[in-house]
Amino acid sequence: MLLDLLFPNRCLHCNTIISKDELVCHVCFPQIKFSHFNFYEENPLKQRCKLLFPVKNAYAVMEFQEEALSQKIIHQLKYRSQEKVGKIMAEWTLERIYLSEKPDVLITVPLHPKKLKKRGYNQLHVFADTLSKNWEIPHHKEALKRNSYQKAQAQKDKSHRAETKYDFSLTEEISGKHVLLIDDVFTTGNTISAIAWEILKNPRNEVSVLVMAFDS
């Protein structure tokens, strides 16, 4: 393909030419700081979640580090329209999580309609759709809506991230379900917590959390 010759895919870290289906070269891949958390056991993400809301299980694929590969990967997904990143992240997730007890439904954090129109896609949907297909768990893309427009967490300095207020609502009834709530980066936990409490208004529901990266 002419475009592949003119604009070859390059490693996010060292700029080496790589296959179009890859993000980083085999030399740089070990520099990605995968979390090695256990989905069913205590881990730092689960401990953080437990301070905010009742959580059943929690998992982060990577540890988020500023100016490191994890940040570059997330930014490719969110701000560079690289939806393939979601599929690759899902493949990494599938290699690291074996579900002995499946959640009933996958729910992704929604974008506000204004932001969705500007970006053109929800960066979580390819990720969740790939997991949904492999795990055979339905992904309810429209189960939540975001009612207020906020500046992206990644575009704020850390001192102002905790000030953000979130307003979410369910668009469908969820009752007696174990929901796996999916987001890209866990920073303050404000987003996940606001949604979790909305789901947990029904005491018959349970919430687990899956994020691509955990900012510890």
Set out the domains of the chain in order of their start, with CATH numbers: 1-31 (no CATH), 32-214 (3.40.50)
82-122: pLDDT as tens digits: 778 999 999 999 999 989 999 999 999 998 778 767 776 78
Q: In Å, how far from its chain's centre is CA 102?
A: 18
CB 204 within 8 A of CB 175: yes
Whether the pLDDT of residue 53 is over 90: the answer is: yes
120-164: pLDDT as tens digits: 678 899 999 999 999 999 999 999 998 876 655 444 454 444 444
In whole angstroms, give the CA distance from residue 40 to residue 210.
Answer: 12
Q: Which of 128, 132, 164, 134 is nearest to 146 (CA)?
A: 164
- Output 165 or 181, whichever has higher pLDDT: 181
187-215: pLDDT as tens digits: 999 999 999 999 999 999 999 999 999 99
CB 211 within 8 A of CB 186: yes
Q: Which of 183, 96, 106 is nearest to 146 (CA)?
A: 183
- pLDDT for the residue 57: 97
